[in-house]
Amino acid sequence: MISNTNSANKKIKIGVYICHCGLNIGGVINIDNLIEFVKTLPNVSIARQYKFFCSEVGQNMIAADIQDNLINRVVVAACSPRMHEPTFRQVLTSAGLNPYYFVQANIREHATWVHMYDPDGATRIAKDHLRMQIGKAVTLKALFPQKVKVLPSSLVIGAGISGINSAIELATQGYQVYLVERDLTIGGHMAQLDKTFPTMDCSACILTPKMVEISRNPKVKILSYSEVEKIDGYVGNFQVTIRQKAHYVDQEKCTGCGACVQYCPVSVGNEFDLGMTSRKAIYIPFPQAVPAKYTIDIKHCINCGICSRSDVCEPDAIKFDDEDKIMEINVGTIIVTTGYDVINPQYLKNYGYGKYENVIDGLQMERLLNSTGPTLGKPLRPSDSKAPHSVAWIQCVGSRDNREGCHSYCSRVCCLYAIKQARQYKEKHPEANIYIFYIDIRAFGKGYEEFYESAARDYRIKFIRGRVSELAEDPDDKYIIIRGEDTLLGKPLEIQVDMVVLSVGMESRHDVEQLAALLTIQRSADGFFLEAHPKLRPVDSLTEGIFMGGAAQGPKDIPDAVAQAKAAASSAASLMAQKEIEVEPYFSFVQNGLCSGCRSCIDQCPFGAITFNESINKAEINSIKCKGCGTCVSTCPSNAIIQNHFSKPQLMAIIKAVLGEI
- Is 35 a binder of another protein (CB under 8 A)? no
Residue from the set 52, 320, 347, 607 that interacts with another protein by CB under 8 A: 607
**182 and 243 Cβ atoms separated by less than 8 Å:** no
User: CB–CB of 286/207 below 8 Å?
Assistant: no
CB 596 within 8 A of CB 638: yes
516 part of the interface to another protein, by CB under 8 A = yes
DSSP 8-state code for residue 59: H
CA dist 259 and 282 (Å) reads: 10
Q: How far apart are CA 630 and CA 639, in angstroms?
A: 12
Indicate whether 643 belongs to the interface with another protein (CB under 8 A). Answer: yes
| Residues of this chain, 91-110, that bind another protein according to CB under 8 A | 106, 108-110
**Residue with smaller CB distance to another protein, 437 or 529:** 529
**Residue among 543, 553, 564, 571 that touches another protein (CB under 8 A):** 543
Q: C-beta of 496: minimal distance to another protein in Å?
A: 43
Q: How far is the CB of 4 from another protein (least distance, A)?
A: 23
- For another protein, give the closer residue by CB, 453 or 582: 582
Nearer to another protein, 111 or 499 (CB): 111
What is residue 85's three-state secondary structure? Answer: helix
> CA angle, 577 as apex, 573 and 583 as ends, to 5°?
95
Question: Considering the complex, what minimum distance in angstroms separates the CB of residue 63 from another protein?
Answer: 25
Q: Say how far apart CA 249 and CA 71 lie, in whole Å.
A: 71
Q: Does 513 bind another protein (CB under 8 A)?
A: yes
Tell me the closest approach of the beta carbon of residue 546 to another protein, in angstroms: 11
| Burial classification of residue 67, based on how many CB atoms lie within 10 Å of its CB (0-12 exposed, 13-18 middle, 19 or more buried) | middle
| Minimal distance, residue 643 CB to another protein, in Å | 7
Closest-CA residue to 141 (of 662, 646, 584, 657): 646
- Minimum separation from the CB atom of position 166 to another protein (A): 23
Stretch that binds another protein, among 56-64, 190-198, 375-383, 514-522 (CB under 8 A): 514-522
Q: Is 419 in the site for another protein (CB under 8 A)?
A: no
625 is a site residue for another protein (CB under 8 A): no
Which H or E run includes 472? strand 470-473
Q: What is the H or E stretch that residue 480 is in?
A: strand 480-486
Which position among 255, 346, 487, 522 is part of the footprint of another protein (CB under 8 A)? 522
CB of 189: closest distance to another protein in angstroms? 25
Q: Considering the complex, what minimum distance in angstroms separates the CB of residue 585 from another protein?
A: 12
Asked if 554 is part of the footprint of another protein (rule: CB under 8 A), the reply reads no
Which candidate, 192, 560, 185, places its Cα nearest to that of 552? Answer: 560
Instruction: Pick between residue 130 and residue 170 the one whose CB is nearest to another protein.
Output: 130
Nearest to 62 by CA among 34, 80, 87: 87
Non-local CB neighbours of 346 within 8 Å, separated by 6+ positions: 353, 354
Q: Which of 311, 431, 517, 536 binds another protein (CB under 8 A)?
A: 517
Minimum CB distance to another protein, residue 82 (Å):
6
- Choice from 356, 547, 586, 589 touching another protein (CB under 8 A): 586
Helix (H) or strand (E) holding 14: strand 14-19
Beta carbon nearer to another protein, 267 or 634:
634
**Of 126, 121, 29, 145, whose CA–CA distance to 76 is shortest?**
126
What track of x and - describes contact with another protein for positions 110 through 149 (by CB under 8 A)? xx-xxxxxx-xxxxxx-xxx--x-----------------
Output 33 or 278, the one with its CB closest to another protein: 33
Per CB under 8 A, the list member of 328, 458, 477, 661 interacting with another protein is: 661
C-alpha closest to that of 273 among 195, 192, 204, 339 = 192
Residue number, 132 or 392, with CB nearest to another protein: 132
421 in contact with another protein (CB under 8 A): no
How far apart CA 90 and CA 278 sit, in angstroms, is: 62
Contact between 656 and another protein per CB under 8 A: yes
Is residue 530 near another protein by the rule CB under 8 A? yes
Question: What contacts 293, CB < 8 A, 6 or more positions away?
Answer: 247, 249, 251, 254, 256, 284
Contacts of 185 (CB under 8 A, 6+ apart): 191, 224, 284, 285, 286, 289, 290, 291
Cα gap 130→657, rounded to integer Å: 9
Give the integer Cα–Cα distance in Å for 451 and 472: 31
Residues that bind another protein (CB under 8 A): 33, 37, 40-41, 80-83, 106, 108-111, 113-118, 120-125, 127-129, 132, 513, 516-517, 520, 522-525, 530, 542-543, 586, 604, 606-607, 627-631, 633-635, 643, 646, 648, 651-652, 654-656, 658-662
